[in-house]
A = this chain, B = another copy of it.
């Protein structure tokens, strides 16, 4: 049997045929063209799945289930996308809509939760029990596996780890609160702080590497500059790691998972991120003994699609 995972994004709908072991064997995508009504977007999604099946020579009887990872609040029980701000979707019956075109079971979950399931079942956290996946991107996304299940929250909006306050006197967050973790630990925050440091230090390698134009800053440049010995970049990273660690230690004290997986673009830094992060976390963990494994994603952007494909394993 094969599984189909779908990642519904604001820009593209990506889908893949995934094996029992969580390996992608065929993938494709179509533009979301958001702004359209949901029946059109869902028809494109179904067509994408059917095309992948045809290309792979598979029929409905070969497909165990389809799983959709969607932005926003999701009601997995009823297969409904409750609300997704970026798609302007409100109570969309995704399961029912998909099943107009394909007669296989359809499951749906939030995309960050799907990514956490992907990492848990066939990614970095595979060897471990309960895990938390933290995605460092525009914001900080969270997905939590507790007692082998996804922590969805009672009203479909739990695990918003980026929106826990670590500095109650801090800067304003997009959510309206002050000092949320994502204000300090997102890739956006790293780019912001690196840009500021570069501007303030025109002699730095950090400044040279963006050719004096901080609009070219990205989350990789401070790591590259620091490795080449730039002390300005090192200071930016030290501070970023401190911010990241505050939230990681909070997550450990709250969930005490076996593993925490860091995803998103910053996680491409692998050991350059994890080694200093581990040192900082150990400095603040109770008793100084860190039992939780800190890992970087090994599924990368595929975590969501693979996790979506595996949704039947927990909801089936």
Contacts and interface: CB of A to CB of B under 8 A. Distances in A.
Number of copies: 2
A284 interface: yes
Contact of A163 (B154, B161, B286): B286
A254 B284 contact: no
Interface in A148-194: 149, 151-161, 163-169, 175-177, 179
Interface string A120-159: 0000000001100000000000100011010111111111
A177 B252 CA distance: 13
A243 B165 CA distance: 11
B159 A254 contact: yes
18 contacts: A146-B147, A151-B255, A152-B256, A153-B256, A154-B256, A154-B258, A154-B292, A155-B292, A158-B253, A159-B256, A161-B254, A165-B246, A166-B166, A166-B168, A167-B168, A167-B169, A168-B243, A177-B284
A312 interface: no
A164 B164 contact: yes
A250 interface: yes
A291 interface: yes
Contact of A253 (B160, B166, B255): B160
